[in-house]
Amino acid sequence: MTGPALVEGRGALSRAVVEALRTGRPPAGAAADADAAAVLRADPWGEDLHLALYLLYELHYRGFEGVPADLEWDPELLRLRRALEDRFLHALRTDLADAPRTVAEAFEPLLVEPVDLGGSLSHYLETEGELWQLREYAALRSLYHLKEADPHAWVIPRLTGRAKAAMVAIEYDEFGAGHPERIHARLFADLMADLGLDPAYGRYLDRAPAPLLATVNLMSLFGLHRVLRGALVGHFACVEVTSSPGSRRLAKAMRRCGAGPAAEHFYAEHVEADAVHEQVVRREVIGGLLADEPALEPDIAFGCAATVLLEDRLADHIRAAWQEGRSALRPAAEVSAGLGPRERSGQTC
């Protein structure tokens, strides 16, 4: 399986990672010390740090074209990745210092749909969004949806009993219940084709801004560390609890704009599936994990709060761009991918 092409760096850290992957020579000695110092100075929410972290995480998924597979476990790259993770995790914990520490407090606000949906991105797309905005949204989300459920699968060997059985049952649905054409990642690729986007894995990485990269990095961060298994369960539960209402609105948006049957089907599938998954993940995955390891409750709550924080940051980024009449993707996207407000002609709905 061939991975996507490497992209260009966005700063000293990501350029160093790209160079290491292209040459097969990770930084060592003085170069490694310089990178470590650069991490401490880096913006924990910035383009450079999150691209560097994304590139290193991707070695554990499909890797990149021409990059040796054995770099996945290179000790110097792992050392750099740990420093980047620490910077990111510290920023999350700092911003969430006052966040709920119990499951009930963390999830209660998510269980009732707000009366005022004015700040909801999916509501905007349902009622006002144009086809070019739906295409941008899909291009952004493709970085996760083309590997949907993969990061969460890492938690399975770290669970037991009720929690494990329920998690496997949900993942079985996510991976098509034995039918490759129904794997959710495949359904999203079909959605992209309906929207005239390139469904190749990782195609829009160089177009993705830091707020989007952070949402995907969060899953990898939680998934790759056993000590964060509770946070990954909290993240997964948050996604399942909030997915069904948002998917219902996005299915309507796709239908209103005539995006195509596969585009509408992806979200319609999630309306039904995730309504069921919500109950299972709350009662059996979280309930089972707390029965086995009650001390993980603050971690579950943290995973939920971190998910909400990063999704809100991403929504703010997208809304701000669209309100100003510009693309929410990085600048090259409008030119090379045919996305953005310059392509409005014939794409209203």
pLDDT at position 70: 95
Given a contact cutoff of 8 angstroms between Cβ atoms, the answer to whether 239 and 107 are in contact is no
Token pair of 80, please? Answer: 């750099």
- Which of 57-96 are b and which e, b meaning 16 or more Cβ less than 10 Å from the residue's Cβ? bbbbbbbbeebeeebeebebbeebbebbbebbbeebeebb
Q: Looking at the structure, do residues 202 and 315 belong to the same domain, yes or no?
A: yes
Instruction: Give pLDDT tens digits for 186-202.
Output: 999 999 999 999 999 99
Q: Report CA-CA distances (Å) from 153 to 104, 112, 172, 218, 316.
A: 24, 28, 10, 14, 29
pLDDT at 340: 67
pLDDT the model gives residue 334: 42
pTM: 0.93
pLDDT value at residue 135: 97
Q: Helices 47-58 and 12-23: crossing angle, nearest 10°?
A: 30
Choose the weakest-confidence range: 4-13, 31-40, 241-250, 310-319. 31-40
Q: 22-63: per-residue pLDDT in tens?
A: 999 887 766 676 777 889 899 999 999 999 999 999 999 999
- Integer Cα distance of 36 and 149 in angstroms: 31
Residues 151-156: what's their mean pLDDT?
A: 97
Q: Note whether residue 61 is domain-resident.
A: yes
pLDDT tier for residue 107 given thresholds of 50, 70 and 90: very high
Tell me: do 149 and 128 sit in the same domain.
Answer: yes
Residue type at position 145: H
pLDDT at 32: 73
**Positive or negative CA dihedral for 280, 114, 133, 151?**
negative
Domain boundary pick from 66, 95, 124: 95
Q: Are residues 17 and 147 in the same domain?
A: no
Assigned domain for 53 exists: yes
Does 96 have pLDDT greater than 70?
yes
User: Is residue 5 one of the residues assigned to a domain?
Assistant: no
Kindly state whether residues 87 and 168 are assigned to the same domain. Answer: no
Determine the Cα–Cα distance for residues 328 and 314; give it in Å rounded to an integer.
Answer: 10
pLDDT surpasses 90 at 335: no
Q: State the CATH number of the domain containing residue 288.
A: 1.20.910.10
Instruction: Work out the mean pLDDT of the chain and round it to a whole number.
Output: 92
Q: Which contacts (CB < 8 Å, 24+ apart) does range 239-243 have?
A: 239/307, 240/170, 240/274, 240/277, 240/278, 240/281, 241/107, 241/110, 241/111, 241/278, 241/281, 241/282, 242/110, 243/270, 243/274, 243/277, 243/278
Same structural domain for residues 112 and 74? Answer: no
Task: Name, in order, each residue with C-beta under 8 angstroms of 293's C-beta and a sequence gap of 6 or more.
Answer: 230
Pick the closest to residue 174 from 255, 239, 220, 103 (CA basis).
239
Residues 84 and 109 grouped into a single domain = no
Q: Can you say how many angstroms the Cα of residue 34 is from the centroid of all Cα atoms in its chain?
A: 29
pLDDT at 274: 67
Q: Give the total number of structural domains in the chain.
A: 2
Q: For tokens 């709905």, name the residue.
A: 349
Q: Are 171 and 152 in contact (CB under 8 A)?
A: yes
Range of the domain at 242: 103-343
C-alpha count within 13 angstroms, C-beta hemisphere, residue 131:
21
What's the whole-number mean pLDDT along residues 221-233?
Answer: 98
When pLDDT is cut at 50, 70 and 90, the band that residue 117 belongs to is low
pLDDT of residue 346: 47
- Average pLDDT score over residue span 261-275: 87
Residue with tokens 């939680």: 222
pLDDT at res. 347: 58
Instruction: Tell me whether residue 4 is in a domain.
Output: no
Q: Does position 131 have pLDDT exceeding 90, yes or no?
A: yes
Structural contact between residues 10 and 209, judged by C-beta atoms closer than 8 angstroms: no
pLDDT of residue 271: 85
- pLDDT for the residue numbered 31: 67
Instruction: Write down the pLDDT at residue 244.
Output: 86
C-alpha 14, offset from chain centre: 19
Residues 203 and 245 in one domain: yes
* % of the chain exceeding 70 in pLDDT: 92
Name the residue among 79, 90, 100, 92 with its Cα closest to residue 36: 79
Express each pLDDT in 276-310 by its tens digit: 788 899 999 999 999 999 999 999 999 999 999 99
- Section 16-21 average pLDDT: 95
* Secondary structure letter of residue 207 according to DSSP: G
Which pair of tokens denotes residue 123? 């509501």
Decide: 221 and 227 in contact? Cβ < 8 Å: no
Domain boundary among 72, 95, 118: 95
Say whether both 75 and 110 belong to one domain: no
148 in the same domain as 39: no
Quick one: 230 and 290 in the same domain? yes
pLDDT above 50 (res 336): no
Question: Same domain, yes or no, for 154 and 194?
Answer: yes
Res 266 pLDDT > 90? yes
Please say if the pLDDT value at position 259 is more than 90. yes
Report whether 71 contacts 27 (CB < 8 A). Answer: no
Q: Which two tokens stand for residue 224?
A: 């790759």
pLDDT at 50: 98
The answer on 124 and 43 residing in a single domain is no
Final residue before a domain boundary, out of 95, 119, 147: 95
